[in-house]
A = this chain, B = another copy of it.
Amino acid sequence: MPKKNISFYALLGILSLGSYSGYDIKKKIEKEVGYFYKVSNGQIYPMLKKMVCDNLASFVIERNEDNINKKIYRIEDKGLSVLKEWLTSPTEMESDNELLLKIYFGSILDVRKNIDLVEKFKDYKKKNIEAYNEIARHFNLSTIKELPDYYSYFTLRFGQIVAQAYVDWSNEIIDILNDIDKRSFQG
């Protein structure tokens, strides 16, 4: 059980959504979360093997429509609890893909847990924005004289604009999640 190996939890998460072969997992990741997360064969196959060793998953060999044998992996109870543990463990907010993967697998947890996660992400990014604004104050476009200061300002602006986009996304997602949460109490 690795500590922060995201690829490991990504595979486990995919298997929590259904049973797939290594090949299918790769395709699914490329298609559905490929824009923020990537994985290579050099990781997938050894990891699946290790998961079976550790009783986190099992496999059966199936013959597909093309008459080709595939190892179809299925998550086991132990695997699911390891995944849940990760989903509820502290999140490294500085790299987006850990958060995005956790949200992508969010259906495993109850809605309120996901709201908390996005809420924390939002708070973190709001603090970032405050820090950037503080730097930006001593850093006004009209007062810049040296060329390197312009470029340094550009990366700061990137930080500001992207962090604000993170906050906007968080607000939108929190609203929807609250709505889902309310409806689940009604129904």
The size class of the interface chain A forms with chain B is: 35 or more
CB neighbours (8 Å) of A152 from chain B are 32, 104
CB neighbours (8 Å) of A148 from chain B are 17, 107
- Is B36 a contact partner of A154 (Cβ separation < 8 A)? no
In the complex, residue of chain B having the shortest beta-carbon distance to the beta carbon of A99: B158
CB within 8 Å for A155 and B104 given contacts A162-B166, A165-B165, A180-B150: yes
- Is A176 a contact partner of B150 (Cβ separation < 8 A)? yes
9 contacts between A and B (CB under 8 A): A36-B158, A36-B159, A106-B150, A106-B154, A154-B176, A157-B172, A157-B173, A161-B168, A161-B172
Task: Give, as a whole number of angstroms, the nearest-CB distance from A181 to chain B.
Answer: 11
